[in-house]
Chains A and B, each alone.
Chain A
Amino acid sequence: MKSPESKAWPKMTGWDEFHFLSDLVLEHSTADDTFIALFDQHGGTTRFANNQIVQNVDTRRVSYAVTAAFGRRRGTATTTDLTAGSVQETLQRAERIARVSPEDPEYLPPIGPKQYLSLPTARPETAAAGPTRRLDYAREAISQCKMENLNSAGTVSSAFAAVGVAASSGLFAYEQRTDARFSLTVQAGEATGWAAAAHRSIDHLKIQERTLTGIEKAKRGADEPEELEAGRYTVILEPAAVAGLLTWLMWMLDAKSLYKGTSPFVGKLGERILDRRLTLRNQPEHADLLGTGFTGEGLPVFDSVWIDDGVLKQLMYDRFTARQHKIEPIATLESPCLSGERPAGGRVSDLIRTTQRAILVTNFWYIRTVNPIDLTLTGMTRDGTFLIENGEIVAAVKNFRFHDSPLRVFNQIDAFTTPAEAVTSETGKVLVPAMRIRDFNFSSVTKF
């Protein structure tokens, strides 16, 4: 897990330094159990709007958390100061809290040493990227939009993080991670087009290609949009829209809620919940996902199947609930890939070409739970909503509000593509197909 540092300034917390600080705390701890978590990140974001820079920031932020436990009494304290005096004072605060905390019947001591996947989580080109590289990318996107007489707004960001966990149980893990992101909204009068990317490597953001996608969307919508009535429609959901629905489904897979009877999945573990062609896996080693070697508790991350041929196979377990139900090892879902048998092609256009009439949805916005019992969600279409007729996009339409459940929607699938990268402002990065779905419920229409 040890990897070389790649930044001269600011000097990030290296393996040796984290080890030293961990040993310092563990040696001074009087607690029965001590757990340490480090997150040291340096990164920046260049933000533009109206074709110029409106915000350009660079931040180095450390978080060092110590959890101390006496028996089942537990307390946590954090600091942003990595000096030896500060981390020891943080330990003392954690111990002070723990001593007066009531016993937690669900407390479990930190896990012991584990073996972790060794993943290429840190890419040197991203670690080395600074304000100049981010500005160059922003300039590239802005210039393309200006050439088309269009208005652009977006961000370019890059970050390098040193992440570690250590504990009195002998647990020790350290990993360096990089993250680069690009998102763009192109405005053509009232119409907007959108594209986004996230990757460990800043070289993979494909600024030009994604800017052209945003431009094309905005230009298609530039004519006065038609207002269609609310109702049930066949829809083609682009990957970002599918990701919005899938993410809420994944967030609700909490095991404790299921066993307490407060989950939409009560009685559904081992049952078919989605179209039988769909499978959801965690794939931390996938090069286009943001896999990590370990979780915030130091649990090893590994490949796992969550939904297999439409059947719910796996839940998200906290350690206490996992022990109650004899779940070992605990699977995690930070690198999701939804794929299906017999895809209709690799591109959204493969679905459009074979569609008689449908609404094409680029993205959803402000998705929220409406009814947690059946996982009914609502949200708005955004940044490119179009009418498809006879295999072609024929008009832009005003944005709809949807009111439907992914548990129903993902059982109404006509066709889908191979998985593609999807990242939105409200979800993490996932690999999901575009889908054509029958009887999708739009409950109202907005003014644009």
Chain B
Amino acid sequence: MNGPPWVEMAEAALARVRQSGADYGDVRILDTITQSVRGEDRRIAGIREGNSRGIGVRVLYKGAWGFAATSVLSLEEVPKIADLAVEIAKGSASLAIEKVRPAAEPVHRDRIATAYRIDPFAVPLEEKTRLLLGLMEVLHRQTGIVRSSANLWTQRDRKLFVSTEGSHLEFDLLALQGEFSATAVQDGRFATRSFNSPHLRLGYEFINDVDWLAEAPRVAAEAVEKVRAPVVEAGRYDLVLDPEHLSLTIHESCGHPSELDRALGYEANYAGTSFLTPDLLGTFAYGSAHVNLIADNTESETLAATGYDDDGVACQKWDIVRDGKFVGYCTNREVAPKVNEVRSRGSNRADGWASMPIVRIANIGLAPGSSTLDDLLADVKRGIYIEGHGSYSIDQRRYNFQFGGDAFWLIRNGKRTHMLRDVIYHGITPEFWNSCEGVADRSHRRRFGFITCGKGQPGQSGWMTHAASHALFRGVDVIRGQAQP
């Protein structure tokens, strides 16, 4: 790597921060390499390898924040950036009403690296493009398929975090993902079916271990079946939701409302606030007794399990909803004391060197129950089984939601029958989770990563993983997607 040593630059910045008399400061230097291989309609539409390097300096001065960042990594530039961060913090302090007093955290000195067998950047591009082109050829063998996509994505983050408190953390993190889809056309309609090897912190073995080519004919056939399927009849249905689908439901209706900064109004102008206000902590019946939502930033291979967050706080595991009751928030060092917590939950993350860290959703997952998927289906007279992600929207306090899906099957008398199309369900978050009547066991558990969770101004993309087993929900309002004239 070119340029001056990172530690030297980081210490130069910290020295300026200390000289300023600031309460606290930290420095993050990152070198991020992102490779994407994008296939579309039987062709490789693009291969891109991005390299982003830079430094961000965060300063707390008289209880107020300042942050400055640059992609110019030089010993001349870095002190200027540190001075700018101090000046900005002083400006913020002039309007401070309630001073920031970060929750205490031990000093950490550590090195964290993703464990992997096969370095995805060492896998020849020819191997990747061959896989994607082969996949798309298989998809197009199915009569009725008119469009396809197949993508591989991987990212490596090398990061140094140092703080005026003495923490020194080095990171070498990997993440990757693959996906493909097929689109069928029939009678002027079109429908897409997808397959996802979701974002996880693993090596290329994650892609090799899934037989994509074996999955492709099923995906293509289901795209055709979906476009030909009857439209759903609006009404109340029991829903059995698969883990991939639930990952998005959890993200939107539990993850975001459990971010304490939202509950305290920090996001009021953009992402919104939360119906899970601090007065509800420990008492609110968020869901039924089957609902246990656990934040776990210590589970290996998951996106938020980075060892430490961007406050330098060690990753942890805690309850968000226990036996249906709302009991915990995602926090950082700034907001944790506002709900009388003595330590941050370690959920403060930035999406790169140029961003100031903010509270992000943890790896929140639905704890397994004791049923099997067949048990859940058997208990449904008239219902819909939903797989994958589709349309999604939720109000800014996270009450009123609406979800679609990637594929839908009618359940009749305990059996999954034929596919349906144009299925949309909507509801109110706590009413929905209180209608949960069963969760499948650990053998059904799967994990899905998110890397485009939008929040903050300027906007940032948050990374986290949501795990779940299949779950059953009673009497949910289902409508047709197509607008009625």
Contact = CB atoms under 8 A, between A and B. Distances in A.
A128 interface: no
B442 interface: no
Contacts of B51: 77-81, 90, 93
Nearest to A263: B190
B483 interface: yes
B482 A371 contact: yes
Contacts of B41: 260
Given A49-B268, A443-B479, A75 B47 contact: yes
A373 B189 contact: yes
A334 B3 CA distance: 38
Given A45-B457, A53-B96, A77-B49, A376 B190 contact: no
B95 A139 contact: yes
A77 B458 contact: no
A57 B88 contact: yes
A401 interface: yes
B396 A55 contact: no
Interface residues of A, number: 93
Interface in B81-140: 84-85, 87-89, 91-92, 94-98, 124-126, 129, 133
A326 interface: no
A305 B96 CA distance: 50
B457 A47 contact: yes
B54 to A, nearest CB: 6
B446 interface: no
Contact of A105 (B43, B77, B484): B43
A447 B397 contact: yes
A415 B47 CA distance: 49
B251 to A, nearest CB: 13
Interface string B132-152: 010000000000001100000
Contacts of A187: 265, 268
A76 B483 contact: no
A102 B483 contact: no
Interface in A106-164: 106, 131-132, 135, 138-139, 142, 151, 153-155, 157
A261 B457 contact: no
B313 to A, nearest CB: 19
A58 B67 contact: yes
Given A54-B266, A262-B183, A76 B47 contact: yes
B43 A50 contact: no
A215 B2 CA distance: 52
Interface in B427-449: 428
Contacts of A261: 146, 185, 188, 190
Interface string B395-439: 111011010100000000000000000101010100000000000
B370 interface: no
A194 B400 CA distance: 20
Interface stretch (A219-227, A233-241, A361-369, A387-395): A361-369
A349 interface: no
Given A74-B47, A266-B188, A370-B424, A10 B125 contact: no
B483 A441 contact: yes
A267 to B, nearest CB: 8
Contact of B91 (A101, A135, A157, A183): A135
B452 interface: no
A62 B402 CA distance: 39
Given A56-B88, A401-B395, A51 B97 contact: yes
A380 B400 contact: yes
Contacts of A171: none
B73 to A, nearest CB: 7
A183 B185 CA distance: 42
Interface string A44-70: 111111111111111111110000000
Nearest to B59: A56
Contacts of B44: 101-102, 104
Contacts of A9: 80
6 contacts: A10-B72, A58-B69, A80-B54, A101-B44, A373-B188, A401-B400
Interface of B: 2-3, 41, 43-54, 64-73, 77, 80, 84-85, 87-89, 91-92, 94-98, 124-126, 129, 133, 146-147, 183, 185, 188-190, 264-270, 272, 275, 354-356, 358, 391-397, 399-400, 402, 404, 422, 424, 426, 428, 456-458, 477, 479, 481-485
Interface of A: 9-10, 44-63, 74-81, 83, 85-86, 90, 93, 97, 100-102, 104-106, 131-132, 135, 138-139, 142, 151, 153-155, 157, 183-185, 187, 192, 194, 260-262, 266-267, 365-374, 376, 378-380, 382, 399, 401, 403-405, 408, 425, 441, 443-448
